[in-house]
Amino acid sequence: MTDTVSPSLAKQRHDILAALAKAATPPPRLIAVSKTQPDEKIEAMLATGQRLFGENRVQEAEAHWATRRAAYPDLELHLIGPLQTNKAADAVALFDVIETLDREKLARALAKAMAAAGRRLPVFVQVNTGEEPQKAGVHPDGLAALLEVAVRDCGLDVQGLMCIPPVDEPAGPHFALLAKLARAHGLAGLSMGMSGDYELAARFGATHVRVGSALFGAR
């Protein structure tokens, strides 16, 4: 951590938290997206009191956090990137919440890994609200079937839904759709909104927003 980094990050965090508090009551929780960030920025963000972080890849997350767990027992790590089934056990060992369940095969792999590890992690289902072929996430019309398998067959603790709207479309309709789907299935969690639209997501009912560049600065 350096003296030139910490004050800047502290102000950015303060301003984002203030904007979220203004946008919604209660405000969504701020997930600091620490993927590709250097150690000095991660340490500076920890120094601000931030304890909720999101990572996209298991291997990079292990490099960032495996040795920091003991120093920060209140740390909470969310996996917010696509997960391969062969990495399920590693993800269950490291993370506290898995936000990117999107298929039956992964649900079964996570259930097996959690049983083996003696951990039952909260899970969010990623919904591909724009039905983009290149993007992970279950399509809205497949959500009910996936939830039935995940909850009934696998016993997963599904607490909410997550989405990443298409970059070339307004985010609001996608946030509204995710909120509607969550209500229809009795799910309270809504992980939606990133650096460019976290205030909008808060107004649509987000419980978690995932912010990287607006919080850490340009990479």
Q: pLDDT tens for residues 89-139?
A: 999 999 999 999 999 999 999 999 999 999 999 999 999 999 999 999 999
Indicate whether 81 belongs to any domain.
yes
pLDDT-based confidence at 1, cuts 50/70/90?
very low
Q: Where are the beta strands (DSSP E) in 83-202?
A: 97-101, 122-126, 157-162, 189-191
User: Which token pair is 6?
Assistant: 């910490």
Total of domains in the chain: 1
| pLDDT at residue number 198 | 98
Residue 1 maps to a domain: no
Does residue 67 belong to any structural domain of this protein?
A: yes
Give the domain extent around 47. 7-211
At 26-68, the pLDDT tens digits run: 999 999 999 999 999 999 999 999 999 999 999 999 999 999 9
Residue 2 lies in a domain: no
Q: Is residue 216 part of a domain?
A: no
Q: CATH number of the domain at 157, please.
A: 3.20.20.10
Tell whether 219 is covered by a domain. Answer: no
